[in-house]
Amino acid sequence: MEKGLQKRVFEVMPKITNAHLSPDAFQKMRVGLAFQLFGDEVIKVLFLYSKKIEKACGPVAPTECFVDKINRLIRVMTSRTPKKALYLRSSNCQFLEEFLSYLTEWEQYTKVTNGGFLSENTADGLRVTIKSTVELLEFLTSVGFRYLLTANLSQDKLANVFGIVRQMSGTNDHPTAAQFLITINALVFYNLARPPKSGNCSPQVITSLISGTKLQPPTQRTIDAVDCLIDEGNFSGAEAALVSCISADHTPCVVQKSHYMLTYYIAGYVARNALRMTQCEHCGSSLTTDKSEAMRSDQASQFTAKFDNGGLLYPSGPPSAAIGVLEDSFTTYISVNKLHEKSLVDFSAFLRNIELPLLGCKVHAAALTKNVVKFYVLLRFRFLTKSQNNEKAEKQQRMKLLKLRRCN
């Protein structure tokens, strides 16, 4: 048949190619090609063209019987569902026993005819695989299991591990025992800390295992704040506070923190706006300090001083500490909660458990602190929503360009 017309007619074995019949050195190592060569398509071809094959090559029945045996062996040893699983005293289990006897008879026959059998290593490996599968099935049945999914006995993963060991620190086909143990220990830790491709946990949860952060129990202030919300009848606020404040066992490991020098820089911006909120001279003087005093007393002011062209303010101790606590609280909340329409309300309930230093004089401390907290919280949520909206817009633009590229 001409090459151009091959795909216009029905084909009995379309998956069989020259790679199956005349494989090169690399293709001989591909198990998938061997599975297809002993698959149902070849059996169908032997049946469909049996007369032509018999005229050219002799009887087809022995070859068909051999291919059928190997095909059934492959199906029995690669079962993935309970319906096709291996059961004790089933026909498939009996077939494995018969196949071992078949191997022995085949080997005895080829000793007389001088050739035509498997290599010694292949035959021994095949016997060990089948016998170990049957013995494992007997053991599992004795301890209460009903069947065995033989596909799970694949040694591909084990072969991959040995391949990684041989390629570790350069090609080394014969690693020593010490090198093998060191590599295996490194792989065990890598698999523990590597984020999964799919699962019900975020990558940060897994990578946080390399951190030595110790877990902190809830403080008494947190418990009292939740009790106060319950006494007031604010059950929704209490629930939000519990969800936000009583963290999961991995929360302290995955929360993100802003750099303390950047927090100090933002604290200066907040102090500038706080000066507009008060007319009290004592409150205004307590919010800021001069550059030399800030450089001497607070290491966090180095970033602000480095990029100060003469217009930046240096917050004093109380506002710097208050903004630091607010920033840590905000980053902690955002790290473990997704942004939604009630995030501002939930974060306000979260702040009820946080102790903040008061700002200004005793007369205006409560009002000034409240205004500063309100300003900073709105500022941070505005920054967050703007950044997320920009990311969403960029993603939509990328998808639009990708769609246009596919159309063109």
Q: 244-284: per-residue pLDDT in tens?
A: 555 444 555 556 777 788 888 888 888 888 888 888 888 88
Predicted confidence (pLDDT) at residue 8 exceeds the cutoff of 60: no
**pLDDT tens digits along 186-224:** 887 766 555 556 655 555 555 555 454 454 555 666 667
From the list 311, 299, 306, the residue with the least C-alpha distance to 268 is 311
Distances (CA, A) of 370 to 281, 317, 340, 351, 375: 18, 17, 24, 12, 9
**What is the pTM (predicted TM-score) of this model?**
0.44
Among the residues of 307-364, which ranges form H helices?
317-336, 343-351
Mean pLDDT along residues 332-337: 80
Residue 289 burial (10 A CB sphere; 0-12, 13-18, 19+): buried
Mean pLDDT along residues 298-322: 82
Tokens 């009002």 belong to 367
- Tell me the pLDDT of the chain averaged across its residues: 81
Q: pLDDT higher for 223 or 314?
A: 314
Which pair of structure tokens corresponds to residue 376? Answer: 């900073």
- Residue 99 confidence class, pLDDT cut points 50, 70, 90: very high
Separation of alpha carbons 115 and 113, rounded Å: 6
pLDDT value for 17 = 85
- Residue 72 confidence class, pLDDT cut points 50, 70, 90: very high
pLDDT value for 217 = 57
- Residue 145 confidence class, pLDDT cut points 50, 70, 90: very high
pLDDT value for 221 = 63
- Grouping H, G, I as helix, E, B as strand and the rest as coil, residue 107 is helix
Which pair of structure tokens corresponds to residue 54? Answer: 């018999």
For residue 275, which phi and psi values (nearest 5 degrees)?
Answer: -65, -30
Domain boundaries, the chain: 14-162, 220-404
Is the separation of the CB atoms in 273 and 375 below 8 Å? yes
- For 236, residues 6+ apart whose C-beta sits below 8 A from its C-beta are none
Q: pLDDT higher for 160 or 250?
A: 160
Which pair of structure tokens corresponds to residue 405? Answer: 């590229």
Is the separation of the CB atoms in 38 and 67 below 8 Å? yes
**pLDDT tens digits along 51-66:** 888 988 889 999 999 9
Separation of alpha carbons 270 and 288, rounded Å: 10
**pLDDT tens digits along 164-179:** 888 877 777 788 888 8
Among the residues of 78-155, which ranges form H helices?
91-113, 120-142
Rounded to 10 deg, the angle between the 343-351 and 235-245 helix axes is 80
